[in-house]
Chain A
Amino acid sequence: MNYPSYQNLTDLELLQRYKSDSNSEWIGILFDRYAILLLGLCMKYLKNEEDARDSVQHIFLKVLSDVHKHEVQHFKAWIYQVAKNHCLMQLRKTNTRYSKELDENTMGGALEPELEKEAKAEKEQKDLMLENMQEAMSMLNLEQQACVKLFYLDKRSYQEIADDTGYSLLQVKSYIQNGKRNLKLLLEKYSKNKR
Chain B
Amino acid sequence: MNDNFRDIFVETNCIPQQELLDYLQDNLGPDDRRRVETHLADCEFCSDALEGLSAITEKEKIPGVIRQMKWNVLQNLRRKNRKKRKLEFYTSLVVITLVILFVALACFWIYHFVSKR
Interface of A with B (CB < 8 Å)? 22, 24, 27-28, 31-33, 35-45, 47, 49, 52-53, 56-57, 60-61, 64, 76, 80, 126, 130-131, 133-134, 151-153, 155, 157-158, 170, 173, 176-177, 180, 183-184
Contact = CB atoms under 8 A, between A and B. Distances in A.
Contact of B9 (A31, A56, A64, A126): A126
Interface of B: 1-9, 14, 17, 20-21, 30, 33-34, 37, 40-42, 44-53, 55-57, 62, 65-66, 69-70, 72-74, 76-78, 81, 84
18 contacts: A31-B70, A32-B17, A32-B70, A36-B62, A36-B66, A37-B49, A39-B62, A40-B49, A41-B48, A41-B52, A44-B48, A49-B57, A56-B69, A57-B76, A61-B73, A134-B1, A158-B37, A176-B41
B37 A37 contact: no
Contacts of B30: 157
Contact of A35 (B6, B44, B51, B70): B70
B6 A130 contact: yes
A76 B14 contact: yes
Contact of A157 (B17, B37, B44, B53): B37
A161 B102 CA distance: 81
Contacts of A35: 17, 66, 69-70
Central interface residue in A37, A44, A80, A134, by most chain B CB within 10 Å: A37
A76 B81 contact: no
A27 B62 contact: no
Given A41-B45, A76-B14, A177-B47, A28 B74 contact: yes
B77 A64 contact: yes
B50 A40 contact: yes
Nearest to B4: A153
Given A24-B78, A39-B49, A39-B62, 7 more contacts: A31-B74, A35-B70, A56-B69, A131-B2, A133-B5, A173-B47, A180-B41
